[in-house]
Amino acid sequence: MQTDNFIPCFSIDCVVFGFHNNELRVLLLKLKNLDKWMLPGGFVSYDKDVDEEAIKVLRERTGLDDIFLRQFHLFGKKDRISKSHAQEMVDKKVISEDLKKWFDQRFLSLGYYALVEYSKVKKPEPDPVSEAIEWCPFSELPDLVIDHVDIVQKAHQRLKKELNFQPIGLNLLPDEFTMSELQALYETILNKQLDRRNFRRKMLAFDILKNTGKKRTGNAHKSPILYSFDQEKYQQLLQADHLF
Amino acid sequence: MQTDNFIPCFSIDCVVFGFHNNELRVLLLKLKNLDKWMLPGGFVSYDKDVDEEAIKVLRERTGLDDIFLRQFHLFGKKDRISKSHAQEMVDKKVISEDLKKWFDQRFLSLGYYALVEYSKVKKPEPDPVSEAIEWCPFSELPDLVIDHVDIVQKAHQRLKKELNFQPIGLNLLPDEFTMSELQALYETILNKQLDRRNFRRKMLAFDILKNTGKKRTGNAHKSPILYSFDQEKYQQLLQADHLF
DNA sequence: ACAAAAGTGTTGATCCTACACCCATGG
DNA sequence: CCATGGGTGTAGGATCAACACTTTTGT
């Protein structure tokens, strides 16, 4: 790692949300030789926009390019990283000795959250510091380094709030999906039950769903209609950001 | 200025909103020897929380301590500061030669916005780089350095959005105020007219206003009731952050 | 007495919520 | 044929927008 190119004391952390088996999940890296996990993140080169670097992190980790990605908070407490953190990383051979100085800095970390379609993410090779990359259920996060739990929680709070202003789903669901699947997504994020019939009515009223004419069969019940998003109207609504 | 103590490449900018003569205003500094203005801001010491430093900037500039202050965006474009900016500051003797190196860095700037009560702010002495400090009308901002116009605009956008989630006014109005004054504040921020009667009903429904029993006289019209905020209920509502 | 802002109440439209029935499908 | 989830409609309540009349004050 060429740390000379990086702006010092500054990092990026990305909370990547996916949705699978009716469960909200977060993409996490397992640190080598340590029973701790971390958010995918990185540093900012002197000649790159901060947002660019965040996009790069996402691309490297998920292979996805056109992604919903939002900056949401700068974590800047002076003692957010414990004194022993870098030393422990060196001791456990997570990082090499010569990187200790870099990781021993005080870091301000800018949090981003991303919404991605679970199935489209090719699970990539772990990198030099991590031995695994996994989709962990949001409801039972493993031990995370530093203040990464706070970052995930704050990202979720923000996501919940944004639901009031923005349509959501285009980035989290497959191209075709049923109304129930869309509802399950909302219920998971908001962590509360919604009325099936009212939900449908409301969603259709937004006029961002296209009935594909197809149905999903094989479910031992009535076959539900498959919908897709009307990309154009969806984007319009995203811009508008009026209340939902 | 002891730049050694500061985290490099990182600054804070504060958009301080005030309300006076039915007008939204922003606190700005006029640069010495230059026909440009800037937002009050500062840098972050290695041993201080970022939020602490923002509070400090506000205290130094307004004399106020207990202030509504929110982080809202990190401005991180690589070319947000023009190459010639630092040189110009040196040429015009805004900063001394030995500070050129510091100001020639690439800076990421964290934007905060604050709401303050205009009348409580003692207009302080300008500092070494500025020759004046003024409340400029938001609707007709002067020439600002770097991307400070964008920062102000984005702060205003965010403020508008937050109005949907939070009560506002406690920080922008004097202790006692009329319903019309409160309405004028909302109308100014939202930049649209509201119905007088519906506004009153809605506000009273929130149950955060106390009728002081007093009236404002001397206006050649019916004397309006003076209200004050019920601090306790106001704070409760702030926490709750449900929709307004 | 009058001009102008302040206080108050009502009505219709709209939106949201709660709820019940029939339909289709695979087992 | 039946269990189960999927599709549809409706009635009551709450909320919001639009609007008009009366009151108070200084001049």
Condensed to tens digits (0 to 9), the pLDDT of residues A146-198 reads 999 999 999 999 999 888 888 999 999 999 999 999 999 999 999 999 999 99
Mutual orientation of helices B179-190 and B196-206 as an angle, nearest 10°?
A: 100
| CA dihedral sign of residues B151, B157, B162, B163 | positive
Give residue-wise pLDDT tens across range B157-191. Answer: 999 988 888 899 999 999 999 999 999 999 999 99
**Selection from B193, B177, B188 nearest residue B22 by Cα:** B188
Contact flag, residue B126 CB and nucleic strand C, below 7 A? no
Type of residue found at B217? T
E strand or H helix at A110: strand A108-115
Domains and CATH numbers, chain A: 3-162 (3.90.79.10), 179-240 (1.10.10.10)
Query: In angstroms, how far is D20 C1' from B236 CA?
Result: 37
Per cent of chain B over pLDDT 90 is 76
pTM (2 d.p.): 0.93
- Chain A residue with minimal CA distance to B165? A161
Q: Are A44 and B71 in contact (CB < 8 Å)? A: no
- Let me know the angle formed at the C-alpha of B202 by B197 and B204, rounded to the nearest 5 degrees: 95
Write down the pLDDT at residue B242. Answer: 63
Contact A178, A221 (CB under 8 A): no
d(CA A215, CA A159): 30
Write down the pLDDT at residue A243. Answer: 61
Q: β-pairing, A108-115 with A6-20?
A: parallel
Query: In angstroms, how far is C9 C1' from B195 CA?
Result: 15
- Chain B residue with minimal CA distance to A9? B7
Q: Which of A4-18, A173-187, A230-244 has the lowest mean pLDDT?
A: A230-244
Give residue-wise pLDDT tens across range B181-240. Answer: 999 999 999 999 999 999 999 999 999 999 999 999 999 999 999 999 999 999 998 887
Q: In the predicted model, is pLDDT for residue B66 greater than 90?
A: no
CA A77 to chain B, closest CA, distance in angstroms equals 4
With an 8 Å Cβ cutoff, the interface of chain B facing chain A consists of 7-10, 44, 46-52, 71, 73-74, 76-78, 106, 108, 110, 161, 164-165, 241, 243
Question: What's the average model confidence in pLDDT over B79-91?
Answer: 92
Residue B73: strand pairing partners: B111
Contact A112, A72 (CB under 8 A): yes
Distances (CA, A) of A239 to A105, B215, B239: 39, 44, 28
DSSP string, B113-167: EEE--GGG---PPP-TTEEEEEEEEGGG---BSTTHHHHHHHHHHHHHHHTTTS-
Q: Where would I find the H helices in A92-212?
A: 100-103, 148-162, 179-190, 196-206
SS3 A233: helix
d(CA A192, CA A201): 18
Residues of B in contact with A7 (CB under 8 A): 8-9, 106, 108
φ and ψ at residue A17, rounded to 5 degrees: -90, 135
Contact A41, A77 (CB under 8 A): no
**Selection from A71, A80, A76, A28 nearest residue A52 by Cα:** A71
Q: Are B108 and A50 in contact (CB < 8 Å)? A: yes
Q: In the predicted model, is pLDDT for residue B121 greater than 90?
A: no
